[in-house]
Structure 1
Amino acid sequence: MFIKNTWYVAAWDHEVTTDGLFARTIIGVPILMYRTADGKLVAMADRCCHRGAPLSVGRREGDCVRCMYHGLKFDAAGQCIEAPAQTRIPPQAKVRTYPVVEQHRWIWIWMGDPAKADPTLIPKTPWLDHPDWRGLDGYIHYDVNYLLICDNLLDFSHLPFVHPTTLGGSADYAEHPPKVERLEDGVRITRWALNTEPPPFVKAVKDWTGKVDRWNIYNFTIPAILLMDSGNAPAGTGAPEGRRVDAVEFRGCQAITPETENSTHYFFSHPHNFSIDEPAVTKSIHQNIVTAFEEDRAIITAQHRNLSLDPEFKMTPFAMDAALSQFRWVVARRLEQEAAETAAATSGEAAQLITVQRQPA
C-alpha cells in the first residue's frame, strides 16, 4: 500500500519538544516522537509491547517514557527497563524504533529497513532556514488518499479555476502545456506562461502595472516531495533566458505524507528572497498560500467523496495528465520492487528454516 524504504516528513522541528510527547501516524503506523535532554530525536512505535496501549498518553521520566496502562518503562532505544512487581524483564519486551533526522526544519523518518536509511537520500530544502529567504510553516490535514493530492500538485492547469483570487492568474495560464521529464524517482515539470497577468498573491506584494513572464519549475519525487523554483518577472525582460530582472522568486517546499489509506499530512512553506525584512510581506504570501491550499482541500475532498461512491469509476485521461500518470507509474514500480524484495527475503528465510530442520540431531 505504501512505500517503506524512503524518507517521509514526519513533523516540523518545533512540533517535537524536549519536555513532551508527540504522536503522529505515518503510513498507518502510530509513531511517538520526543527529544532527550540533550536534544536528540527519538522516534518509536506508539504502541506498548505489553497490551498495545499508546505510549503517547504515557509519562515522560527523564529520557524515558512510562506507559500509563500497566506502568512499563521504556528507554530511548525502545527497550523496556522497568515493570512493576517484576525484577526480570524479558529481552523481547521492547518497541520498535525508527531512524529519524532533523534537516532544515523538517523532521524526516524512515519507515522501512533501518539498514537502508541513508541520510544522504533526504531531499535538500535549504530555503526553509536560509538567512536570505523568508517563509512561514504550514500544515494541513486531509481526509483523502495522498495520491489525489499528488495528482493536484502535478497538474497546475487547475490554478486559474480553483484559485482565481490567490494563485491563479488569468485563464491563459492553463493553456501553456508543461514540459515533463522522467526522473529516476519521480518527474520534473517546467511550465512557462509568457506575457500573462501576475497572480493575485503576487499583486498583493509587488506593484507591477504590466504583464509578467511566469514560471513554475519543480521536481516531484518519491514519496511525495515537491521542491519548486517559481516566480514572476516583468514580461520581456529575459526571464526564460535566465535574466530575472526585478523578479519575485519563491522556493516552494511541500511534503505529502500518508497518514492512513484515506488520510494525509501536508507540510508546506513558500520561502521568498525579496522584501525579507518586511514581515507583512511574508505574512501576506503565506496567508494567500494557506487560502489557496484550503481551496485545494475543498475540491479534492469533494472529488474523494464522489469517487468513493463508485469504486469502479474509470477516470478519462487527458494530455494534461502526463506528469501525474508518470509519477503514479514510478510509485507503482517502487511498490512492486519492495514487494518482490520482501517475498524473496521471506522465501530465503523459509528455505533456511527447512534446511535447519532437516539436519540430523
Structure 2
Amino acid sequence: MTRTHPHNCWYLLATSEEVGRTPLGRRVLGQGVVLFRTTDGTAVALEDRCVHRPYPLSLGWLEGDTIVSGYSGFTYDARGFCVHVPTQDEIPVGARVRSFPVHDDGVFVWGWLGDQALAALRPPAALPWLRDDSWVTIGDSWETAADLALLHENFADITHVAVVDPFIAPPVLRSSPPPLEVEVTETTVAFSRTYAAAPMASWQAELAGLDPALSHVQRERGAFVSPGVWVDSWDVEVEPADQSGPHALTFRFTHAVTPIAAGRTRHTWRVSRNFALGEQASKVLLPIFTDYYGRVQTILETMQQVLDSDGPRREVNVSADAAALQVRKIIRNMVADETGIPTRRQSRAAARNR
C-alpha cells in the first residue's frame, strides 16, 4: 500500500491523564500501540500484539513494570523484551515486541513510530499555554473518517468559517480578507494576516465584557508545526480601562492530529484563552466550539467520501489557499524523503534535468 503519512514525526498517542496502570490500546499509522505507566509513573509505548499469537497486549494486565498477554501469558518488560513464558523456563530467541520513543509533557503523551535514531533530533512541539495558569483551555478528542492532510488543509484556511458557522465567525471574515503573509521552511509553514479595525463577534464581546459595537484590530496567525500538530491564534487588540496600552484578547487553537490509517485520523482539539478565565465562560464556550468542530468533521468526512468514490481531480485554488498548498507540498515531500519514492513534481523535475 502506498504510504501517505510521514512516519518520522511525533504523533499524539493519548492525553497524559489517559495513560495509567490499565493498558490502553491505540492505533497509529496502521500500527497497534499499547500504552501504560510503570510503577514510577513513566509512560511506555509498545507494539500492541503478542509475539506468540495475534492477540492485543492492551487486553492483558500489568504486573509491576511488566505487561502480561491475556491469552498466552507471555510477559514483556517496558523495553518490549519477553521476560516470562508460562509453559517453559527458556525465553524463545527474538521474543520481543517493538518499543517506541515516548515523550510525556504532562498534558499529552507523544510517540515516535518512525526511524528511532531521528527521534531525539526532532523534539515534540512545545505547547506551554496548555500548562500555563494564565490560560484556560477546553477541548475534546474524536476520530474523523478523513485523511490527516484534509484536516491540516482545513486549519490552514479559516475563510470558510463564515460559511460553515456564521455565528462563530468574526464579522471581518464576511468580507474580502487581506492577503496572507506566509513563511515556509522545509518542514513548517507559518502565516499571519491583520484585519482593519472592526467589531468582534457578539458572543466574544459579551464574554470579554466589551461593547459589541466597538471596532478592534484583529489578527490571525497559524502554523503547521509538524504533520502531528497545528496551532493558530485569533487576537483582538483592546484598550484597557486603565489606559496602560493595548493588549490582545487571544484564542489559541491547538490541533493534535494522529493518522490512524489512510482516511482516518484522531483529532484532539484544544481552545485556550487568556481572558474570561472563569468556569462559567468555559461552560459557554465548550458547546460553541464542539458544535463548530463537529460541523467541520462532517464536512471533511464528506470530502473523504467523494475522494474515495471519484478519486482526486484538478482543483481551482485561490489566494486564501496559499498556506494550505504549502502544507500539502511539505507532507508529500516528507513521505517521498522517507520512502525514496519521488513525488510527481520531483519526477518531472528530474526528467527535465536529464
> Could you tell me whether the CA contact under 8 Å between 2:180 and 2:322 is conserved in 1?
no
1:132-281 residue pairs with structure 2 within 5 A?
132-173=134-175, 175-206=177-208, 207-209=210-212, 210-234=214-238, 245=246, 247-276=248-277, 278-281=278-281
Local SS of the residue matching 1:270: strand
Give the corresponding residue for 2:339: 339
Aligned mates of 1:299, 1:187 — CA distance in 2:
24
Equivalent residue for 1:295?
295
Whole-angstrom distance in 1 between the partners of 2:25 and 2:171: 39
| Paired residues of 1:189 and 1:217 also in contact (CA < 8 A) | yes
Structure with more contact order per residue of length (Cα contacts < 8 Å, sep ≥ 6): 2
Q: Using the alignment, how far apart are the partners of 1:311 and 1:10 within structure 2?
A: 30
SS at match of 2:340: helix
Letter in 1 for 2:166: P
More off after superposition, 193-202 vs 6-15: 193-202
Match of 2:86 among 70, 84, 87: 84
**Deviation by residue 1:4-30 (Cα, 9 ceiling, x = unmatched):** 11111111111111x211111111111
User: Structure 1 residues 35 and 165 mapped into 2: Cα distance closer, same or farther (>3 Å)?
Assistant: same
**Which one of 7, 10, 26 corresponds to residue 10 of structure 2?**
7
The amino acid that maps onto 2:184 is R
- Counterpart in 1 of 2:19? 16
Per-residue CA deviation, residues 294-326 of structure 1 (Å, 9 max, x unaligned), is: 111121112222222201533222222211111
CA distance in 1, matches of 2:188, 2:320: 17
**Shift of the alpha carbon at 1:213?**
2.0
- Corresponding residue SS for 1:205: helix
Task: Name the aligned partner's letter for residue 14 of structure 1.
Answer: E
Quote the residue 2:98 is aligned against.
96
Give yes or no for the alignment of 1:329 onto 2:333. Answer: no
1:181-211 deviation digits (Å, cap 9, x = unpaired): 2123121111222233323541341232323
Q: Verify the 8 A CA contact 2:152 2:230 in the aligned structure 1.
A: no
Q: Distance in 1 between matches of 2:163 and 2:176?
A: 9
Contact map agreement 1:101 1:119 (CA 8 A) in 2: no
Q: Match of 2:349?
A: none
State the alpha-carbon separation in 2 of the partners of residues 164 and 50 from structure 1: 55
Could you list the runs of 5+ residues in structure 1 that have no partner in the other structure?
342-361
Preserved contact between residue 74 and residue 81 of structure 1 (Cα < 8 Å): yes
Q: Return the alpha-carbon distance in structure 1 between the equivalents of residues 6 and 24 of structure 2.
A: 23
Relative distance call for 1:311 and 1:200 in structure 2 (3 A) is farther
Q: Secondary structure at the match of 1:328?
A: helix
Q: 1:124 aligns to what SS in structure 2?
A: coil
- Distance (Å, rounded) in 2 between the aligned partners of 1:274 and 1:28: 40
Instruction: Call closer, same or farther: CA 1:131–1:121 in 2, change over 3 Å.
Output: same
| 1:273 partner letter | N
CA distance 1:174–1:270, shift in 2 (3 Å): farther
How many Å separate the matches in 1 of 2:262 and 2:65? 33
Aligned residues of 2:9 and 2:228 also touching (Cα < 8 A): no
Letter in 2 for 1:12: T
For residues 218 and 86 of structure 1, what CA distance do their matches in structure 2 show? 57
SS at match of 2:138: coil
- Partners of 2:53 and 2:338 in 1: how far apart? 30
Identical counterparts, % of pairs:
25
Q: Which residues of structure 2 form unaligned runs of 5+?
A: 342-354
Residue in 2 that maps onto 1:59: 61
Superposition CA RMSD, Å: 2.2
Paired residues of 2:57 and 2:69 also in contact (CA < 8 A): yes
1:116 maps to a residue whose letter is L
What is the distance in 2 between the residues matched to 1:111 and 1:247?
39
Does the 8 Å contact 1:189/1:218 carry over to 2?
yes
Q: How many residues align?
A: 333
Query: SS where residue 271 of structure 1 aligns?
Result: strand
Per-residue CA deviations over 1:241-282 (Å, capped at 9, x if unaligned) read: xx9726411222211111110110111212111232x11113
Greater displacement, 72-81 / 202-211: 202-211
C-alpha separation in 1, matches of 2:164 and 2:51:
46
Q: Comparing 135-144 with 112-121, which one deviates more in the overlay?
A: 112-121
Give the stretch that moved more between structures: 54-63 or 42-51: 54-63
CA contact (8 A) 2:188 2:223 kept: yes
C-alpha distance in structure 2 between counterparts of 1:300 and 1:310, whole Å: 15
Q: Which moved more, 1:172-181 or 1:145-154?
A: 172-181
Q: Secondary structure in 1 aligned to 2:207?
A: coil
CA gap 1:205/1:139 in 2 versus in 1, 3 angstroms:
same
Q: What's the TM-score, normalizing by structure 1?
A: 0.86
2:207 maps to a residue whose letter is V
1:49 deviates by: 1.1
Normalising by structure 2, we get a TM-score of 0.88
2:134 equivalent to 1:123: no
Q: CA deviation at 1:141?
A: 1.3
CA distance, structure 2, for counterparts of residue 58 and residue 34 of structure 1: 11
- Report the 3-state secondary structure (helix = DSSP H, G, I; strand = E; otherwise coil) of the residue aligned with 2:171: coil
